[in-house]
Structure 1
């Protein structure tokens, strides 16, 4: 099946910045999880964080849940310490909280703006370098 939706992944210091666009299907989510893990490989020797910007995301098909849970398990085992999520919709937040409930070793926080998310990371003494 053809992918629906898209994303960007960028690394700066010990921070992985993800921006999601459109409505995702299983194929997009699968590629995202593969590319996310590959990009984060350079970070896992030290504590790291993810800033997940969902301000332009339009949700996803329910079948992505297992993929997201697998990504979370991988992150728990590979030194991720923070996950900050930017989302505007209460429905998005509810669904994301359900999908991210297995982030056992990772502090999860939600914000409506990127500046708030970055300020929160600074407040927990996370080195942002040039985010």
Structure 2
């Protein structure tokens, strides 16, 4: 497991690799700087762990500590969604979402594929393992 927490302009995140799954826990309210740092970090990790080996992969987002984001941050994340769609992402699972988060996720991912909402982390992990194995 590796942690990314040395840069905290507004919000934070932690990443953990679990086989072909990236588990992300996000914290706080995000601005454009934090969204860009997240996207840059995710792109680097995905490229080095999965794309370099031509592996299919999935992302789990634990939203229990996230407090929404600015419109600028949403635009940055939306660009990353398109990048993931083009780079072997098989599933995106979100857990511990509140109703406002669910609405935002549905809006952001309306043109994407393989987006799933679950109540808990264990359900996300089971779904990803079934999809990737």
TM-score by length of 1: 0.86
Partner of 2:45: 39
1:4 pairs with 2:13: no
1:101 is displaced (CA, Å) by 2.2
Partner of 1:114: 121
Distance 1:22 1:83 in 2: 20
Aligned residue pair count: 123
1:28 is displaced (CA, Å) by 0.5
SS at match of 1:78: coil
Distance 2:65 2:99 in 1: 14
Partner of 1:23: 29
TM-score by length of 2: 0.85
The runs of at least 4 aligned residues of structure 1 exceeding 3 Å deviation read none
Aligned pair partner of 2:94 in 77, 85, 89? 85
SS at match of 2:111: coil
Distance 1:120 1:14 in 2: 12
Q: Report if the CA contact (8 A) 1:73-1:102 is conserved.
A: no
Q: Report if the CA contact (8 A) 2:35-2:73 is conserved.
A: yes
SS at match of 2:26: strand
Partner of 1:97: 106
Q: Report if the CA contact (8 A) 1:8-1:19 is conserved.
A: yes
RMSD: 1.5
Q: Whose helix proportion is higher, 1 or 2? A: 2
Structure 2 segments unaligned to the other structure (5+ residues): 1-7
